Amino acid sequence: MADFVSIEKGLGPEGRIAVVRFDRGDGINALSPEAMRQLTRAARSFEDDADTSVVVLTGGPKAFSAGFDLRDAEGRSRKSMDIGALRRHLKLGPRLARAWQDMEQITIAAIEGFCIGGGIALAVALDFRVMSRAAHVRIPEIGLGMNMSWQSIPRLLHLMGPARTKQAVILADQRISAEEAYAWRLVEEVAEPGSAFEAAMVLAGRFARQPPISAAMTKLTINRLTHALDDLTSHMDVDQFALATMTEDHEEGVAAFLERRKPRFRGR
């Protein structure tokens, strides 16, 4: 089985920075179920790593991630799953995002190219996002007859507020530029094209120079307060997603995407 994820440790001040690279080498970097499992394992591999205090997650040079892989055979098998099997399979994404959110280390996403759907769901689970000026974000789930899940709605809401979250999620065909993402507080820094990773490493270096234990405890305090009600407000998003995938609008949305045409939704 192909390895989509690599980890390099011992970088930066006192060797306290690690880099996780997710690159499928195809310029698209879609999140297949196997890619999600590998990224989840990568996050969990830092649980007992006292030597690393900052982790930078970067995608390929042309794409952070195109989101869930609609063409992946395992992903497409969802259509034939019963509701029990589907609910179990749909936990892969939330498990991935939670694994990254729960990391003790400071986490920074370096975004080049496009960051779409599940890609931004992953990015907002991290502490910081550095985005290339040439990059863009899009959240296409509603345009595919689905809902935005992986507990992404509360994370987006904490960053951008209610109006921008509605705009970003419901207007599914809207391409959000780096400048807009920065103005909306979706990303914390905009870098020159091709230099998002370098800028993320500079930011990582600043955090790596701080006392690791104090930084980790402070991150935990902020996260616990910020996300205290997230489980309550989004506990049904996996089931909402499962329900939405059973609609005719979902079938039409995916078919239109694969056939490169505009969908015709009928509200059923």
CA 107, distance to chain mean position in Å, is: 12
pLDDT at 239: 82
Check residue 47 and give its pLDDT: 97
Q: pLDDT at position 245, please?
A: 82
Q: Report the CATH fold assignment for 5-214+232-258.
A: 2-enoyl-CoA Hydratase; Chain A, domain 1 (3.90.226)
Give the per-residue pLDDT at 89. 78
pLDDT at residue 234 in the model: 84
What pLDDT, on the 0 to 100 scale, is given for residue 75? 58
Q: Divide the 268 residues of the chain into consecutive groups of 10 and give the mean pLDDT of each group.
A: 91 97 94 94 97 97 89 65 77 95 98 96 98 97 89 96 96 94 98 98 98 97 95 84 86 87 90
